[in-house]
Amino acid sequence: MTGLLDGRLAVVTAGTAGIGRAVAARFVAEGADVVVTAPRQDELDVVVAELGPRVTGVLNDASDPDDLERLAATVRALGRPVDVLVANAGRDVAATTVVDTTVDQFHRVSDLNFRGTFFTVQRLVPLMRDGGSIVLTASIAAHNGGPGHAVYNATKAAVRSLARTLTAELRDRRIRANAVSPGPTRTATFDAFTEGSDDVEQAVVAQIPVGRVGRPEEVAAAVLFLASDESSFVAGAELVVDGGMSQV
């Protein structure tokens, strides 16, 4: 049986943990060769060892323009066009009100979440084949205005908006751009948010109609759909994967 991404080359930023790692693993299972990035070599080594020879690890911090240039050079050296780009790198900081947010905190989030996403796409789009697919990781936080996370929320809204602009700008090359917006998902970031508190997690779960937190593999399935020909008539869209949390 052939996979949905047989013979294709995919780049997945922040592909060594959480959603990014689940995406990389699913892409490999569907027949793709995958370039994963992360800012730590030890994490890359583990993922390459676990997922096998079709995975290439590239040391990269998406918030660093020089690193993005090196990523583009590495991908270019592979000698084949990129079929799928998943711009997944992102972070938040501890809950901080707008009036208390420092300049450093602002840049720590915005430089990776939006600037990093924007310039990752800018550097790699010229290396993509016509008819390829871009998937940007946004978040339901782009819509809910949760207090204490203004920069994160706003940058994820910007990421979602970018998918629309890319769809319009790349129409002549038939490159589709879409956003996936996860809700609460069982990752290290979610665990840090709940700080191991059952009460906090239960309060979150109470807002999710499905009655539980999502799994990274469930988000990866949505990313696969957007990356593959299964979504060939989907462009500029946002696929929300949150168990209904933001929908009812």
Catalytic positions are: 152
Any alpha helices (H) in the chain, and if so which ranges? Answer: 18-29, 41-51, 65-77, 103-110, 117-124, 141-144, 150-169, 188-194, 198-205, 216-227
**Which among 163, 170, 176 is positioned nearest to 84, based on CA atoms?**
176
**Which among 123, 87, 92, 122 is positioned nearest to 11, based on CA atoms?**
87
Distance from C-alpha of 139 to C-alpha of 40, rounded to nearest angstrom: 24
Torsion angle, alpha carbons of 9, 52, 74, 176, to 10:
20
Phi and psi based region of residue 157 (left: phi greater than 0; alpha: psi -120 to 50; beta: remaining): alpha
